[in-house]
Amino acid sequence: MERATRKTQPSARRRNPVETRSRLLGAAFREMHRSGFRGTDLDTILSQAGVTKGAMYHHFGGKQAIGYAVVDEVIGDMTRERWVEPLARAEDPIAALKAIFSGASADFADFDRGCPLQNLSLEMSALDEGFRTRTAQLFRVWRGAIVEALRRGQAQGQVAEGLDLEEEAEFLIAAYEGYIQLAKNARDSAPLKAAERRLVRHIESLRP
Amino acid sequence: MERATRKTQPSARRRNPVETRSRLLGAAFREMHRSGFRGTDLDTILSQAGVTKGAMYHHFGGKQAIGYAVVDEVIGDMTRERWVEPLARAEDPIAALKAIFSGASADFADFDRGCPLQNLSLEMSALDEGFRTRTAQLFRVWRGAIVEALRRGQAQGQVAEGLDLEEEAEFLIAAYEGYIQLAKNARDSAPLKAAERRLVRHIESLRP
Amino acid sequence: MERATRKTQPSARRRNPVETRSRLLGAAFREMHRSGFRGTDLDTILSQAGVTKGAMYHHFGGKQAIGYAVVDEVIGDMTRERWVEPLARAEDPIAALKAIFSGASADFADFDRGCPLQNLSLEMSALDEGFRTRTAQLFRVWRGAIVEALRRGQAQGQVAEGLDLEEEAEFLIAAYEGYIQLAKNARDSAPLKAAERRLVRHIESLRP
Amino acid sequence: MERATRKTQPSARRRNPVETRSRLLGAAFREMHRSGFRGTDLDTILSQAGVTKGAMYHHFGGKQAIGYAVVDEVIGDMTRERWVEPLARAEDPIAALKAIFSGASADFADFDRGCPLQNLSLEMSALDEGFRTRTAQLFRVWRGAIVEALRRGQAQGQVAEGLDLEEEAEFLIAAYEGYIQLAKNARDSAPLKAAERRLVRHIESLRP
DNA sequence: ACTAACGGGACAGCCCGTTTAT
DNA sequence: ATAAACGGGCTGTCCCGTTAGT
């Protein structure tokens, strides 16, 4: 009851809820990418984002809620930017697809951290249904983008008919993720280079 | 006369360091497979193994040491049993290789837990160098076993010359692990079925 | 024309300081009766009242101030309505007194929550002098009302002379509160029934 | 993973689990008596008892478990020492009963803290079923001791036949607790004096 | 070799109060 | 007068490691 009324310094920064929220998500993503969800502590996110606990608690219900938002928004945006939109916009979807895979080792400059979606999916799928469904949804989006690219490739005569496009897309993702995992584990970008060669070559093998 | 009335507690009651150690490793492996290394708490391992903390401390230096031993011994043994020895013993190494891949979905009855080596590798590689080097070593052993099988296949005229066998082996592992990851995430064995088809077909494509 | 479509949110939408204040007090009373003062969190009161924190802060200085107001106003009003006014208005104060005690188990339909004044008094007396003095004041008012009823009973020859009326009133309150406590603790209205019998009988024993 | 192995000072005190446990219970009782269960924080208990968190966690499952043990053991012992045993041992149970009530204001030297059983019962009954049943059990023990004393009083001709002894005992407890509550709230021992007079007189009125 | 008692740091959630902005 | 954003301390729990004692 005798709780003293503590005085607060006026906090020079202006209010900006949108930025506060996005700073939190950014910091959370970085820490989760580095240490996994459970290895990330809230105080680190907070100090990295320059946000206090109270502010965070206003925007998110807790650590889990932040984690979910990181999947839905941050990793989701990355997936859309890197896969969905380029493939949807491209006039030549097959060329675009090959280009993305070709940039694998360049995009994974910090290959020792691995793929955020993969890390989170594997860490949390067995432990938290919310994480599992959210990451699974992103894998579906990813696969859908590739399927659509292959379908348009068929329409343009670049891809053979009669293929099971869903299966082809799943294969590309599986192999790609597998290589990323090996690179992370080996602390070596060589598997990424192999992924580029292999997967581009594979796409070419889909020609009629 | 000695083994009567030992029904309630099947644990190693009388001092038996060898069994104590193996019970600890078994319990640790199960918990780590279920919840990851950091999600596993020592007391759970201890109670599952029917061993107290002090006893454990005489066998291992701590949680980390148990984790390392699980990689080296439990997962290492699994790798040797499932890959190294069958491939080394087989008269027809290519047939053996295909057989192993064909049994993927059967072997992963609990596909929602994923591959222990993959889980541990991805969870810990960025956080603990000891885990990273140990899991990397097992990947090397695994790849070596496949390379050796392919090499013997070449000697028997079943595999084309001129292939980069290291790269082929790495591809098989990457794709396989990628599919396992997708199956775990989707809680669906379909990706494992796809892995069987795809990888067996791929091995056949290596023929001269 | 103004009051249409206001079905989803029955809260005081248009500015209405009087209603806002009373809604806050009502919600605070309910929560404090259920969970005690310290077990009640402000946000629950706020959401129950349909009022935001800023609005509350214009009416009350904080949680403590709300608590004080609940004692002074809500519980105070209840005390006045249930004891002071009926006893003051009654032509036959002794009959009125017996009637009130007789209604004990009916009035405490939710006997498992206990008497709000008792709960608050016991929870906070040792911790917060403001609560202690306010609840003590209500006990004095309560006792005063009974003393006055007994005094009028004496004037009408219904009560023996020579009694220490203050002590008699205190006894009635003490025993009554004691029974309420037992009922709450036992989740059983039996002690309230016993209180009715006992206390009515006791009042009758005060006759000349 | 890089958790440094922290060195601990050898802790001069010898090991004594029994004393450790009892020190914890004693400190917990004192704090709970002063501030209520929810107002008591673990660290205060710990520092008062000179015990660390780990030690406490070894003896009790958590704060709730300590609270339960305080009811069962500390308050239970007090009840037995103050009521059950004196009444059971006494050759003249009615005299013993009066003696106990006569010592009320002396026993409640710190009358502003109130009765521990009452405080806990009222604070927690509505919130935690475990507390409710445990305190209810002590009230039953208490009442049983008084009933037994009255019954022996009947056998010795000191108490009238035909009384509902359970109801008499309940009345004594209710009134006694009610007075204690008033004393605590008023910070005044006067209600305790009144309790002594009133209740001793009441017991005498039970004579044949 | 094994048991039980103990030491103690780290962390997420809870929740009250305060300030900016309408 | 009201709403939303923000500041920040407190506390119970979790859980790993260590030592006295057998």
pLDDT digits (tens, 9 = 90+) for A34-58: 999 999 999 999 999 999 999 999 9
Say whether B132 and A39 touch across the interface (CB within 8 A).
no
CA distance B28 to B15: 20
Q: Two tokens at A84?
A: 């969905």
For the segment A149-174, the average pLDDT, to the nearest whole number, is 97
Cα-Cα-Cα-Cα dihedral of C4, C5, C11, C15, to 10°? -50
Q: Two tokens at B170?
A: 């790495």
Handedness of CA B10, B13, B19, B22 (dihedral sign): positive
Chain C residues within an 8 Å CB radius of A1: 64, 124, 127-128
Count chain A–chain B contacts defined by CB atoms under 8 A: 131
Question: Per-residue confidence at A18, pLDDT binned at 50, 70, 90?
Answer: very high
Whole-prediction pTM value? 0.90
Q: How far is CA B69 from CA B75, B78, B193, D17, in A?
A: 9, 13, 32, 35
Provide the chain D residues 179-198 that lie in CB contact (below 8 A) with chain C.
179, 181-182, 184-187, 191, 194-195, 198
> Over chain D, what is the mean pLDDT?
92
Q: Cα–Cα–Cα angle for C89, C93, C95, nearest 5°?
A: 120
What is the model's pLDDT at position B12?
A: 38
Of the candidates D121, D114, D116, which has an alpha carbon nearest to the alpha carbon of residue D182?
D114
Q: How large is the greatest C-alpha to C-alpha distance in chain C, in angstroms?
A: 67
CA distance B116 to D81: 60
- Report the gap between the CA of C33 and the closest CA in chain D (Å): 10
Chain D residues within an 8 Å CB radius of B127: 1
CA distance C109 to C189: 9
Question: Per-residue confidence at C19, pLDDT binned at 50, 70, 90?
Answer: confident
DSSP string, chain D: -----------SSPP-HHHHHHHHHHHHHHHHHHH-STT--HHHHHHHHT--HHHHHHH-SSHHHHHHHIIIIIIHHHHIIIIIHHHHH-SSHHHHHHHHHHTHHHHTTTTTT--HHHHHHHHHTTT-HHHHHHHHHHHHHHHHHHHHHHHHHHHTTSS-TT--HHHHHHHHHHHHHHHHHHHHHHT-SHHHHHHHHHHHHHHHTT--
CA distance A78 to A67: 15
Report whether pLDDT(A70) > 80. yes
Q: Which residue is nearest to nucleotide E10 (CA to C1')?
A: A41
For the segment A99-116, the average pLDDT, to the nearest whole number, is 85
CB-based contact D90:D76 (threshold 8 Å): no
What is the model's pLDDT at position A8?
A: 36
Report whether pLDDT(D12) > 70. no
CB-based contact D88:C101 (threshold 8 Å): no
What is the model's pLDDT at position C106?
A: 77
- Report the gap between the CA of B20 and the closest CA in chain A (Å): 28
DSSP A14: P
Q: Which residue is nearest to nucleotide E19 (CA to C1')?
A: A10
For the segment D88-95, the average pLDDT, to the nearest whole number, is 96
DSSP B85: H
Chain D interface includes B127 (CB < 8 A): yes
For B3, counting Cβ atoms within 10 Å of its Cβ (0-12 exposed, 13-18 middle, 19+ buried), the class is exposed
Non-local (6+) Cβ contacts of A82 within 8 A are A100, A107
Q: Two tokens at A165?
A: 């496009």
Q: Which residue is nearest to nucleotide E20 (CA to C1')?
A: A15
Nearest CA in chain C to A2: C128
CB-based contact A98:A203 (threshold 8 Å): yes
Nearest nt by C1' to A8 Cα: F7
Count chain A–chain C contacts defined by CB atoms under 8 A: 4
Chain C residues within an 8 Å CB radius of D171: 175, 194, 198
Report whether pLDDT(C8) > 70. no
CA distance A31 to A45: 7
Task: Calculate the angstrom distance between C1' of F18 and CA of D127.
Answer: 39
Of the candidates A83, A67, A84, which has an alpha carbon nearest to the alpha carbon of residue A119?
A67
How large is the angle between the packed helices D17-35 and D116-124, nearest 10 degrees? 70
Say whether A174 and B195 touch across the interface (CB within 8 A).
yes
DSSP B47: H
Measured from the Cβ of residue A199, the count of other Cβ atoms closer than 10 Å reads 23
What is the model's pLDDT at position D9?
A: 37
CB-based contact D101:D95 (threshold 8 Å): no
Of the candidates A62, A75, A61, which has an alpha carbon nearest to the alpha carbon of residue A134?
A75
Q: Do chains C and D touch (3 or more CB pairs under 8 A)?
A: yes
Task: Calculate the angstrom distance between C1' of E14 and CA of C41.
Answer: 9
What is the model's pLDDT at position B15?
A: 58
Of the candidates D194, D178, D98, which has an alpha carbon nearest to the alpha carbon of residue C168?
D194
Q: If you search the block for the tokens 């027809």, which residue do you land on?
A: B92
Say whether D174 and C181 touch across the interface (CB within 8 A).
yes
CA distance D57 to A68: 33
Question: Per-residue confidence at C11, pLDDT binned at 50, 70, 90?
Answer: very low
Least confident of C196-200, D67-71, D100-104: D100-104
Chain B residues within an 8 Å CB radius of D54: none
Mutate one of D1, D2, D3, D57 to test the B interface: name it (highest B CB count within 10 A): D1
What is the model's pLDDT at position D109?
A: 66
Least confident of A13-17, D87-91, D128-132: A13-17
* C155 alpha carbon, distance to own chain's centre: 29
CB-based contact D25:D73 (threshold 8 Å): yes
For the segment D119-130, the average pLDDT, to the nearest whole number, is 96
At residue A135, φ and ψ (nearest 5 deg) are: -70, -35
Non-local (6+) Cβ contacts of A75 within 8 A are A29, A116, A117, A120, A138
Classified as helix, coil or strand, A5 is coil
pLDDT tens-digit map of C60-98: 999 999 999 999 999 999 999 999 999 999 999 999 999
CA distance C14 to C5: 14
Q: If you search the block for the tokens 């500390």, which residue do you land on?
A: D74
> Over chain A, what is the mean pLDDT?
92
What is the phi-psi region of residue A110: left when phi exceeds 0, alpha when psi lies from -120 to 50, beta otherwise? Answer: beta
Report whether pLDDT(C137) > 70. yes
CB-based contact D169:D150 (threshold 8 Å): yes
Chain D interface includes C112 (CB < 8 A): yes
Of A121, A174, A182, the CB nearest to B139: A182
Report whether pLDDT(C109) > 60. yes
What is the phi-psi region of residue B11: left when phi exceeds 0, alpha when psi lies from -120 to 50, beta otherwise? Answer: beta
Q: What is the Cβ-side half-sphere exposure of residue C128, based on CA atoms within 13 angstroms? A: 21
Chain D interface includes B160 (CB < 8 A): no
Non-local (6+) Cβ contacts of C84 within 8 A are C141, C142, C145
CA distance D130 to D124: 9
Q: How far is CA B23 from CA B19, B30, B74, B119, D10, in A?
A: 6, 11, 11, 22, 32
Nearest CA in chain D to C193: D167
Question: Per-residue confidence at C165, pLDDT binned at 50, 70, 90?
Answer: very high
Task: Calculate the angstrom distance between C1' of F3 and CA of A195.
Answer: 53
For the segment A117-134, the average pLDDT, to the nearest whole number, is 97
DSSP A15: P
Mutate one of B185, B189, B198, B200 to test the A interface: name it (highest A CB count within 10 A): B185
Q: pLDDT digit of tens for each residue in chain B (208 aa)?
A: 333 333 333 333 455 778 889 999 999 999 999 999 999 999 999 999 999 998 899 899 999 999 999 999 999 999 999 999 999 999 999 999 999 999 887 777 677 899 999 999 999 999 999 999 999 999 999 999 999 999 999 999 999 999 999 999 999 999 999 999 999 999 999 999 999 999 999 999 999 8
Of the candidates A64, A73, A71, which has an alpha carbon nearest to the alpha carbon of residue A21?
A73
At residue B24, φ and ψ (nearest 5 deg) are: -60, -45
Q: If you search the block for the tokens 């450790």, which residue do you land on?
A: D20
Handedness of CA C33, C34, C39, C40 (dihedral sign): negative
Nearest nt by C1' to A56 Cα: F6
pLDDT tens-digit map of C31-62: 999 999 999 999 999 999 999 998 999 899 99
What is the model's pLDDT at position A106?
A: 76
Chain B interface includes A116 (CB < 8 A): no
Report whether pLDDT(D177) > 80. yes
Nearest CA in chain D to C112: D126
CB-based contact B142:B115 (threshold 8 Å): no
DSSP B179: H
Of the candidates A121, A114, A120, which has an alpha carbon nearest to the alpha carbon of residue A176?
A114
Question: Per-residue confidence at A109, pLDDT binned at 50, 70, 90?
Answer: low
Measured from the Cβ of residue D155, the count of other Cβ atoms closer than 10 Å reads 10
Task: Calculate the angstrom distance between C1' of F12 and CA of D57.
Answer: 11
pLDDT tens-digit map of D99-124: 999 988 777 767 789 999 999 999 99
How large is the angle between the packed helices A116-124 and B116-124, nearest 10 degrees? 120
Q: How far is CA D5 from CA A40, B176, D11, D58, in A?
A: 21, 40, 17, 21
Report whether pLDDT(C6) > 60. no
Task: Calculate the angstrom distance between C1' of F7 and CA of A9.
Answer: 9
DSSP A91: S
Q: Two tokens at D204?
A: 């005498």
Report whether pLDDT(D1) > 70. no
